Amino acid sequence: MRRRSFVSDYWILGLTLLFIGWFLWRMTSHESMGWYVINPSTPQGAINMQFLLGGLWITIGISIIAMVLSIAIGLLAALMNMSTNPGARMVARGYIELFRAIPLLVMLIWVYYGLPALLDIRLDPFAATVIALVLCESPFQAEIFRAGIQSIARGQHEAAEAVGLSYADKMWFIILPQALRRVLPPLANQFVYILKMSALASVIGLDELVRRANDINNNEYRPLEIYSFLVIEYLLLVLAVSWAVRRLEKKMGSDESGR
């Protein structure tokens, strides 16, 4: 592979900044844009902006709950999938293959409209979204954990077994801490994915970021401005995740592979 020179790196950076600058200038100065809808110095703009920002807490809350639960279930599925018990393996394999194949939107509609109709289980949009996200996401977490666990050297298992540790102790103290450190980057990806996919919950009426943007837009008819603001909200969330994960990686130390 040819190494790019500094000159062309700076060219690309310069052109990118130029493009962003031009885009922002067009967005703010074009006569057809109406930023007043979210201008906090006007009474209605302030109310609108506050309403849009208020959706952040619901999006954040639902994403964190769904992430934590899908990690727990994904880890369990990964361990079952690698177990020596053929029954456990089959259950895990079936779970992963089935739920990985179902689109989140379909799952949301199933859980929210299907469960009350079929089983008379009525859920509020928040609970339904958490369940749908966890069911759709945990198979991905399971495969991430499997890859992480399998990347730990055989010798680590053998050393843990040779000093007499039980399977649970071996996994908890030796294998999982090392595997977790290695799968942090893909787990961060999954978290970002959940943050963004939670937007689909707007279709079952969950009062999150996109739903609120839709509501304001129905009154104001300013989709370009309102959805542009939405982009900034998601961007901030994702940047915050990146920052947090990088700190976490530093805290957990470099990848000290068990050779």
Binding residues vs another protein (CB under 8 A): 153, 155-156, 158-166, 169, 173-174, 177-178, 181, 253, 256-259
Please identify, using beta-carbon distances, which residue of 176 and 210 lies nearer to another protein: 176
Please identify, using beta-carbon distances, which residue of 87 and 253 lies nearer to another protein: 253
CB of residue 156 vs another protein: minimum separation in angstroms?
6
CB of residue 254 vs another protein: minimum separation in angstroms?
9
Q: Which of 80, 227, 42, 195 is nearest to 129 (CA)?
A: 195
Please identify, using beta-carbon distances, which residue of 43 and 164 lies nearer to another protein: 164
CB of residue 174 vs another protein: minimum separation in angstroms?
6
Q: Which of 204, 32, 18, 61 is nearest to 122 (CA)?
A: 204
Please identify, using beta-carbon distances, which residue of 118 and 162 lies nearer to another protein: 162
CB of residue 257 vs another protein: minimum separation in angstroms?
7
CB of residue 246 vs another protein: minimum separation in angstroms?
19
Amino acid in position 160: A
Residues 6+ apart with CB under 8 A from 114: none
CB of residue 251 vs another protein: minimum separation in angstroms?
12
Taking the C-alpha atoms of residue 142 and residue 147, their distance in angstroms, rounded to an integer, is 9
Taking the C-alpha atoms of residue 223 and residue 34, their distance in angstroms, rounded to an integer, is 10
Please identify, using beta-carbon distances, which residue of 97 and 169 lies nearer to another protein: 169
- Chain-centroid distance of CA 138 in Å reads 11
10 to 13, 22, 121: CA distances (angstroms): 5, 18, 58
Taking the C-alpha atoms of residue 60 and residue 52, their distance in angstroms, rounded to an integer, is 13
Please identify, using beta-carbon distances, which residue of 187 and 216 lies nearer to another protein: 187
Q: Do the Cβ atoms of 138 and 218 come closer than 8 Å? A: no
Please identify, using beta-carbon distances, which residue of 9 and 158 lies nearer to another protein: 158
CB of residue 173 vs another protein: minimum separation in angstroms?
6
Helix axes 125-150, 176-197, angle to 10 degrees: 140
131 to 71, 174, 181: CA distances (angstroms): 13, 31, 27
Residues 6+ apart with CB under 8 A from 238: 192, 195, 196
Taking the C-alpha atoms of residue 227 and residue 216, their distance in angstroms, rounded to an integer, is 10
